[in-house]
Structures are given as structure tokens and as C-alpha cells.
């Protein structure tokens, strides 16, 4: 049957605008627990963000107390948000803006850079799994360049940058983190870089077996967030290999999903 000019015009408009509509989809909510909302700005009305919700370019996502969410960005990066977190992703600048709270990120190793910004740091990653929270930035696998107050640090797998002052790099127990952090245990699906995470676990355990690493042992300081989620013990050595007296001087902000201990 021959199509009328009107039908052909409508079809042409639909297919010509669909790439623009798709390009506006910055992220998709893949998991949501308890109170998760999104909206164009924090000064406007917020809407529930359930699994399958499309997050448009420039919109924010906010989690409440005892809540968490997972999003897949348009570049296939997975981000997981802890409780009381405010998150935004911009397609235009290809930048994650963590305005408050705690986040895990896992970016596929596709050679393309992703920028991450928090109140304390800016970071550039290519293919990396890591996490960010108030006053710290850490990596489970991969590498990242992190800038604090104009000073650049290079982080590798199993390291955390404490913003300070002064900024310090410490190592942490990767396998224990993965077992105890709700950012890992509180979600269903594996991460895009699971292969590299498994390799880092194997490397860490091999270093322990060979005596290069002495993992932390209890008792150690464990700082929980208000929902009581356990998190991440450190091996407390700074970037110069000097042991940190974390047991005597615990970090000033106890609301992380992280826990700290100095090496024996």
C-alpha cells in the first residue's frame, strides 16, 4: 500500500529526532533500594527513581537514609551510590559530580577518559574500579590521576588518597573491602571490570602468602555510616612507606563507609 505524504513526513520526523532523544539519556537506574529520587535540579520537584528510570543529561540522583542505587551511564560505566548521596552525570563534559555521600564506579577499559569530581578532588580515569567519599578517593583496580588543591597524585590498585591536610596515600585490604563494603555486597550483578577485580584479589592474596603484605587484624577502628554498613580496613602506610598512627588519631569524619587501621 502506498504511504501518504503525511505518513512519510511523520516517519521521517520520528527517525530524525530519535538519536537526539537517545543522546539525552545520560544514565539508566538498574537497581534502587528504599528512597531514591531524581530531578532536573535540587530546587525543583523530585521524582522516584526505580529500576528502569531514565536519567536525562544534567539531572541529579539522590538517595535517602538506608538507601542505595546503581546506575549505568551512557558510556557503560556502572556507578553505585550509598546512603545520603547526591550524584550528577553530564554527557557534555563526560563528568561525574559527586556532590555528597559515597560512590563506587567501574568503568570499562575502552581507552576513553571519564572525569570524576567531588568536593575535595578531581580525577581522570580510563578503565578503573574505585570509590569516593568525604575526604578520600580509592582504587580497587586500575590507575587514576587525582588532583587535590592543584597537586596531582597517581593512584594504583589497592591505594586510597586521604585528602588531609596533608594529602596522604595509604594501602588497604582489597579482599576484605570487597567482602564487607555494601557498595559491593548490596547489589545483584557483577561489575564491568569483574575480571580485573578478581585479578587484583589474586595478586593481593599472593603478596600476603609471600610475606610482602601483612593484612590488618582486628581489633581495628571501624567507622560506619548512619545505616551501620561496615566497610573498609586499611593497611596504614603513607606514600613514603611510613606507618600511620591511625589507631591513635582516627580520621575526623566518622560517617564513611570505610574503616581504618594502621599496620602492625
> pLDDT tens for residues 214-239?
766 654 444 344 443 344 444 444 44
The most confident of the ranges 2-6, 43-47, 52-56 is: 52-56
Nearest to 140 by CA among 120, 118, 121, 125: 125
Residue 140: the pLDDT is: 93
Per the DSSP assignment, residues forming a β-bridge with 146 are: 123, 153
Does the structure show a pLDDT above 70 at 250? no
- Kindly list the strands in the beta sheet with 114-117, ordered across the sheet, starting from the edge strand earlier in the chain: 47-48, 36-39, 60-63, 86-90, 95-100, 114-117, 122-125, 143-148, 151-156
Q: What is the distance between the alpha carbons of residues 260 and 222, in angstroms, rounded to a whole number? A: 6
Instruction: Say if residues 126 and 107 touch (Cβ distance below 8 Å).
Output: yes
User: What pLDDT was estimated at residue 181?
Assistant: 82
pLDDT greater at residue 214 or residue 254? 214
The predicted model gives 249-255 an average pLDDT of 35
Q: What is the mean pLDDT of residues 128-154?
A: 91
Report which of 186, 174, 145, 155 is spatially closest to residue 234, judged by C-alpha positions.
Answer: 174
CA nearest neighbour of 101 among 71, 81, 80? 81
Closest CA to 68 of 88, 51, 55, 52: 51
Provide the percentage of residues in the chain whose pLDDT is more than 90: 38
Q: The C-alpha cell of 235 is what? A: 593497611
Helix (H/G/I), strand (E/B), else coil: 84? coil
Selected residue with higher pLDDT from 16 and 143 = 143
Q: Is the dihedral of CA 50, 51, 56, 59 positive or negative?
A: positive
Average pLDDT over residues 81-92: 90
Residue 68 dihedral angles phi and psi, to the nearest 5°? -160, 160
Q: Are strands 129-133 and 103-106 parallel, antiparallel or unpaired?
A: antiparallel
pTM of the model: 0.77
Q: pLDDT grade, residue 165 (50/70/90)?
A: confident
Alpha helices in 24-154 (DSSP H): none
Q: What pLDDT is stored for residue 86 in this prediction?
A: 92
Query: In 10 A of CB 214, how many CB atoms?
Result: 11
Angstrom distance (rounded) from CA 153 to CA 121:
10
CATH, domain range 24-260: 2.60.120.1440
Question: Please, what is the Cα angle at 93 between 192 and 13, to 5 degrees?
Answer: 90
Kindly tell me if the per-residue pLDDT of 71 is higher than 60: yes
Using the predicted structure, report yes or no on whether residue 195 has a pLDDT greater than 50: yes
Q: What's the rounded Cα separation, in Å, for the pair 107 and 113? A: 9
| Side-chain-facing half-sphere of 111: CA atoms under 13 Å | 0
**How far is C-alpha 219 from the chain's CA centre?**
27
pLDDT of residue 122: 93
Q: Is the pLDDT of residue 259 over 70?
A: no
Three cell numbers, residue 65: 537514609
Q: How confident is the model at residue 199 (pLDDT cuts 50, 70, 90)?
A: very high
Q: Report domain extents, the chain.
A: 24-260
Q: Which of 151-160, 190-199, 254-263 has the lowest mean pLDDT?
A: 254-263
Least confident of 2-6, 115-119, 157-161, 257-261: 257-261
Amino acid at each position: 500500500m502506498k504511504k501518504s505524504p503525511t505518513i512519510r513526513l511523520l516517519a521521517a520526523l520520528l527517525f530524525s529526532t530519535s538519536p537526539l532523544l537517545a543522546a539525552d539519556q545520560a544514565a539508566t537506574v538498574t537497581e534502587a533500594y528504599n528512597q531514591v529520587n531524581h530531578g532536573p535540579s535540587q530546587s525543583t520537584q523530585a521524582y522516584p527513581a526505580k529500576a528502569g528510570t531514565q536519567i536525562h543529561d544534567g539531572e541529579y540522583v539522590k538517595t535517602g537514609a538506608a538507601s542505595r542505587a546503581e546506575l549505568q551511564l551512557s558510556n557503560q560505566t556502572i556507578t553505585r551510590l550509598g546512603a545520603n548521596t547526591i550524584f550528577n552525570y553530564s554527557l557534555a563534559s563526560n563528568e561525574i559530580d559527586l556532590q555528597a555521600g559515597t560512590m563506587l564506579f567501574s568503568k570499562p577499559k575502552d581507552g576513553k577518559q571519564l572525569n570524576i569530581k567531588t568536593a575535595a578532588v578531581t580525577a581522570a580515569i580510563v578503565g578503573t574500579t574505585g570509590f569516593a567519599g568525604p575526604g578520600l578517593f580509592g582504587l580497587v583496580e586500575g590507575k587514576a590521576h587525582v588532583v587535590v588543591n592543584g597537586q596531582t597524585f597517581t593512584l594504583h590498585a589497592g591505594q586510597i588518597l586521604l585528602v588531609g591536610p596533608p594529602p596522604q596515600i595509604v594501602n588497604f585490604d582489597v579482599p576484605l573491602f570487597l567482602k564487607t563494603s555494601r557498595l559491593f555486597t548490596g547489589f545483584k550483578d557483577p561489575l564491568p571490570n569483574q575480571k580485573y577485580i578478581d585479578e587484583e584479589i589474586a595478586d593481593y592474596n599472593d603478596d600476603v602468602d609471600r610475606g610482602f603484605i601483612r593484612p590488618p587484624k582486628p581489633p581495628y577502628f571501624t567507622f560506619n555510616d548512619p545505616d551501620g554498613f561496615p566497610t573498609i580496613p586499611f593497611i596504614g602506610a603513607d606514600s613514603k612507606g611510613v606507618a600511620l598512627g591511625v589507631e591513635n588519631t582516627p580520621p575526623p569524619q566518622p560517617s564513611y563507609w570505610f574503616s581504618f587501621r594502621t599496620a602492625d
